[in-house]
Chain A
């Protein structure tokens, strides 16, 4: 790993269009500013990892939530309590590409 020393208000460049600025240093906390084009996503690592882990697990669901019998019943009951407006579902239908049997 490349290790660089920087003072407050100094920066590093990654490639031609990503700039990381040391905004403030206080105790063991460093505030960093990131200037990057929109196509480059910048995230706190621990949150990034948590979401990535959820995505990976979610991608392993095989059937409609892997539920049958009582589980399906619980889902239907919960769905009955939902309060989405008709407008929301109309928008979703306009986005959906097709119908499948799960």
Chain B
């Protein structure tokens, strides 16, 4: 199938590779179907592109690559939504942002995906240990100023 995107043009994807977030993402509840796109084979940042809105896409990364201690607390209701029993079988992503001269990750609201069913949920963690703007990379002056 073809997915229209404003950033990458028309992308051909296998319909079996769609990801469904039954509740959507916070603030974007209307958009349920996404695809994960890889800019290149070695990159650590990916795009989570909406299938329903060409304009809507998020940069995501795998959080434990950056923070080996990072753990997601998933509630029973979220596990039920994902139809999962074992949280260690899930795949985790965090949405990436650019904030005040740094690349940050929202570790308080990670995306949890059941790779078997390709169902996902944005988990809201109530403890504030990691926060919504965890700094991954501080940008040098020029790039920081550009993003201001």
Contacts and interface: CB of A to CB of B under 8 A. Distances in A.
Query: Do A and B assemble together?
Result: yes
Interface of A: 36, 38-39, 41-44, 47-48, 50-59, 61-75, 78-79, 82-84, 88-89, 91-102
A97 B137 contact: no
Interface in B3-20: 5, 7-8, 11-14, 17-19
Interface residues of B, number: 72
A70 B37 contact: no
Contact of A100 (B8, B26, B41, B95): B8
Contacts of A96: 17, 35-38, 46
Q: Name the 3 nearest CB pairs between A and B, nearest first.
A: A71-B143, A84-B65, A51-B109
B95 A83 contact: no
Contact of B126 (A41, A44, A101): A44
B28 A59 contact: yes
Contacts of B40: 99
Interface string B105-148: 01011000101001000101110100011001111111110110
Contacts of B96: 58, 61, 65
B73 interface: no
A84 B106 CA distance: 18
20 contacts: A36-B77, A38-B78, A51-B109, A51-B124, A54-B95, A54-B109, A58-B95, A61-B58, A64-B45, A65-B98, A67-B147, A68-B143, A70-B142, A73-B140, A78-B136, A88-B64, A96-B37, A97-B18, A100-B8, A100-B11
A43 B124 contact: yes
Nearest to B131: A50
